[in-house]
Structure 1
Amino acid sequence: MHENFNQARKGYFRVLSVIIPAYNEEEIIPQTASVIDGILSGENIEHELLFVNDGSKDRTWERIEEQAKAFPSVRGVCFSRNFGKESAIFAGIAEAKGECCVVIDCDLQHPPEKIVEMYRLWEQGYEIVEGVKSDRGKESGLHRFAARSFYDIMSNSVGFDMSRASDFKLLDRKAMNVLLNMREKNAFFRALSSWIGFKSTEVEYEVREREVGTSKWSTKALFKYALTNITSFTSAPMQIVTILGIIVFVVGMGASLEAIITFFEGKAQDGFTTVIILQCFTGSFIMMALGIIGYYISKIYDEVKGRPKYIIDKTV
Structure 2
Amino acid sequence: MHTFPPQHRDDIPSLTIVVPCYNEEEVFAFCVAELKSLLKRAIEEKKITAQSHILFVDDGSRDKTWSLIKQAAQTDNLVHGIRLSRNRGHQIALMAGLSCAETNISVSIDADLQDDTACIPKMIEKYMEGNEIVYGVRSDRSSDSFFKRWSANSFYKLMEVMGIQQVANHADFRLLSRRALHSLLQFEEQNIYLRGMIPLLGYRSTQVFYARKERCAGESKYPFYKMLSLAIEGITSLTIKPLRLISLLGAFTCLISILISIFVVVQKFYGHVLLGWASVEISIFFLGGVQLLCLGVIGEYIGKIYMETKHRPKFFIQDKI
TM-score over 0.5 for the alignment? Answer: yes
1:282 Cα deviation after fit? 1.9
Aligned equivalent of 1:242, options 227, 234, 247:
247
My pick for the range that moved more, 113-122 or 36-45, is: 36-45
User: What CA deviation, in whole Å up to 9, does each residue of 1:191-228 have, x standing for no partner?
Assistant: 11122111111100111101111212222222222211
1:305 Cα deviation after fit? 1.0
Equivalent residue, structure 2, for 1:221 = 226
CA contact (8 A) 1:23 1:55 kept: yes
Q: How does 1:68-147 map to 2 (within 5 A)?
A: 68-136=73-141, 138-147=143-152
Instruction: Give the distance between the partners of 1:143 and 1:259, measured in 2 at CA.
Output: 48
Equivalent residue, structure 2, for 1:149 = 154
1:56 Cα deviation after fit? 0.9
Instruction: Give the distance between the partners of 1:164 and 1:216, measured in 2 at CA.
Output: 18
1:205 and 2:210 equivalent? Answer: yes
User: What CA deviation, in whole Å up to 9, does each residue of 1:74-101 have, x standing for no partner?
Assistant: 1101011110111011111110121110
1:102 Cα deviation after fit? 0.4
1:266 Cα deviation after fit? 0.3
- What is the root-mean-square deviation in Å for CA atoms of aligned residues? 1.9
User: What CA deviation, in whole Å up to 9, does each residue of 1:15-61 have, x standing for no partner?
Assistant: 10100011111112122111112112112223210000111111110
CA contact (8 A) 1:155 1:163 kept: no
SS of residue in 2 equivalent to 1:135: coil
Equivalent residue, structure 2, for 1:18 = 17
> Which amino acid letter does the alignment assign opposite residue 104 of structure 1?
I
My pick for the range that moved more, 39-48 or 306-315, is: 39-48
1:5 Cα deviation after fit? 5.1
Aligned equivalent of 2:287, options 275, 282, 291:
282
Would the alpha carbon gap of residues 162 and 156 (structure 1) be closer, same or farther in structure 2, given more than 3 Å must change? farther
Instruction: Give the distance between the partners of 1:251 and 1:31, measured in 2 at CA.
Output: 61
Instruction: Give the distance between the partners of 1:175 and 1:85, measured in 2 at CA.
Output: 20
My pick for the range that moved more, 22-31 or 176-185, is: 22-31
1:38 and 2:37 equivalent? Answer: yes
Instruction: Give the distance between the partners of 2:279 and 2:109, measured in 1 at CA.
Output: 57
Equivalent residue, structure 1, for 2:61 = 56
1:269 Cα deviation after fit? 3.2
Instruction: Give the distance between the partners of 1:2 and 1:17, measured in 2 at CA.
Output: 22
1:296 and 2:295 equivalent? Answer: no
Instruction: Give the distance between the partners of 1:301 and 1:87, measured in 2 at CA.
Output: 18
1:2 Cα deviation after fit? 4.3
User: What CA deviation, in whole Å up to 9, does each residue of 1:129-153 have, x standing for no partner?
Assistant: 1111101353333332222222223
Instruction: Give the distance between the partners of 1:134 and 1:213, measured in 2 at CA.
Output: 24
Would the alpha carbon gap of residues 308 and 235 (structure 1) be closer, same or farther in structure 2, given more than 3 Å must change? same
Instruction: Give the distance between the partners of 1:105 and 1:145, measured in 2 at CA.
Output: 23
Would the alpha carbon gap of residues 184 and 252 (structure 1) be closer, same or farther in structure 2, given more than 3 Å must change? same
CA contact (8 A) 1:187 1:233 kept: no
Instruction: Give the distance between the partners of 1:145 and 1:240, measured in 2 at CA.
Output: 24
SS of residue in 2 equivalent to 1:43: helix
Q: Percent identity?
A: 34
Instruction: Give the distance between the partners of 1:49 and 1:255, measured in 2 at CA.
Output: 66
My pick for the range that moved more, 152-161 or 258-267, is: 152-161
Instruction: Give the distance between the partners of 2:251 and 2:146, measured in 1 at CA.
Output: 33
1:124 Cα deviation after fit? 1.7
Would the alpha carbon gap of residues 232 and 15 (structure 1) be closer, same or farther in structure 2, given more than 3 Å must change? same
Instruction: Give the distance between the partners of 1:216 and 1:187, measured in 2 at CA.
Output: 18
Instruction: Give the distance between the partners of 1:222 and 1:62, measured in 2 at CA.
Output: 29
Equivalent residue, structure 2, for 1:10 = none
User: What CA deviation, in whole Å up to 9, does each residue of 1:245-268 have, x standing for no partner?
Assistant: 133223313321320221111012
SS of residue in 1 equivalent to 2:131: coil
Instruction: Give the distance between the partners of 2:191 and 2:118, measured in 1 at CA.
Output: 31
1:160 Cα deviation after fit? 4.5
Would the alpha carbon gap of residues 167 and 293 (structure 1) be closer, same or farther in structure 2, given more than 3 Å must change? same
CA contact (8 A) 1:129 1:169 kept: yes
> Which runs of 5 or more residues in structure 1 are unaligned?
8-13
Equivalent residue, structure 2, for 1:162 = 167
> Which amino acid letter does the alignment assign opposite residue 26 of structure 1?
E
1:277 Cα deviation after fit? 3.0
Instruction: Give the distance between the partners of 1:5 and 1:233, measured in 2 at CA.
Output: 37
User: What CA deviation, in whole Å up to 9, does each residue of 1:162-210 have, x standing for no partner?
Assistant: 3222211100000000010110111211111122111111100111101
SS of residue in 2 equivalent to 1:83: coil
